[in-house]
Structure 1
Amino acid sequence: MSKLKHEAELVAHALKVGAVYAKKRGVGEFDTVDSQKDKITYLYRLLVHDKLIQPLAKGQETEPLMKHKLALWMSRQLPEGHALLQ
């Protein structure tokens, strides 16, 4: 797994976009008291359930790997030339 250049920023952006996606889909929304780890896990599992990202292998669902998957997903959603892709 090679780390993306702006991975932390991509994960933060993915959480924002994911919160809107989850709310529009009607499956819940993030609360201000939810920890970042809970948000990452929830969004990762939602995207896997909706078949928008490929799941990690069993036993490999760690926070760093889920963050990486979310960053990859977000990098594919951004338009070409976006500042986070530079």
Structure 2
Amino acid sequence: MKKIKNETELVREALRIGAIYVEKRKAAKFEQTDSSRQKIEYLYRLLVHDNLIQPLVKGQESEQNMKHKLALWISRQLPEGHPLLK
């Protein structure tokens, strides 16, 4: 997969927005003691379950690929002209 510009920052924003989505959906609540890896995997799986992102091919479900999917998801949610999209 081609790396996205500002991917690290986009993943951070995806986790921030994703935590709000998870709580509003009453699916779970992210705690400060949860590792970023756990948050990434949980958010990825929830978004796949809710059909908001397309799942990765079996065997390619690595943390890096999940981060990439989350970065793509959040980049489509952000308004046009957002600083992370430049």
Taking structure 2 as the reference length, the TM-score comes to 0.99
Letter in 2 for 1:14: A
- 1:70 is aligned with what amino acid? L
Displacement, 1:75? 0.2
SS of 1:13's equivalent?
Answer: helix
How far does residue 36 in structure 1 lie from its aligned partner after superposition? 0.4
| 2:28 pairs with 1:45 | no
> 3-state DSSP class of the match of 2:79?
coil
Q: CA RMSD in A?
A: 0.4
Deviation at 1:2, TM superposition (A): 0.8
5+ long unaligned stretches in structure 2: none
Give the gaps of 5 or more residues in structure 1.
Answer: none
Count how many residue pairs are aligned between Structure 1 and Structure 2: 86
Superposed structure 1 runs of 4+ greater than 6 Å apart: none
What's the counterpart of residue 25 of structure 1? 25
Deviation of 1:14 after TM superposition, in Å, equals 0.2
**How many Å apart are 1:84 and its aligned residue?**
0.3
Equivalent pairs: percent with the same residue?
65
| TM-score when normalising by structure 1 | 0.99
Aligned residue runs from structure 1 range 6-85, under 5 A: 6-85=6-85
